Amino acid sequence: MRKFSKIVICVGALIMIILGMIVYDIWKDRIYFSLAVLFVTVLSLIWNIVAHNIMDKFRGRE
């Protein structure tokens, strides 16, 4: 399940970057949008790791 959720997050980020490249005309806007998507993706991946570790701790106590 961990690999699947990471793949979904990365594929979603890739789709957002591709759509940003299509929508924005100015290269500066494309770069800013891509950096914002990458920043949110990194935060999502970190949160995903933390959430899985928390769930594993609670499952281990039972």
Flag whether the pTM goes above 0.85: no
Provide the b/e sequence for 4-42 (b: ≥16 CB within 10 Å). Answer: eeeeebeeebeebbeebeeeeeeeeebeebbeebeeebe
pLDDT above 70 as % of the chain: 95
> Residue 1: its pLDDT value, please?
65
12-62, pLDDT tens digit by residue? 999 999 999 999 889 999 999 999 999 999 999 999 999 989 988 888 765
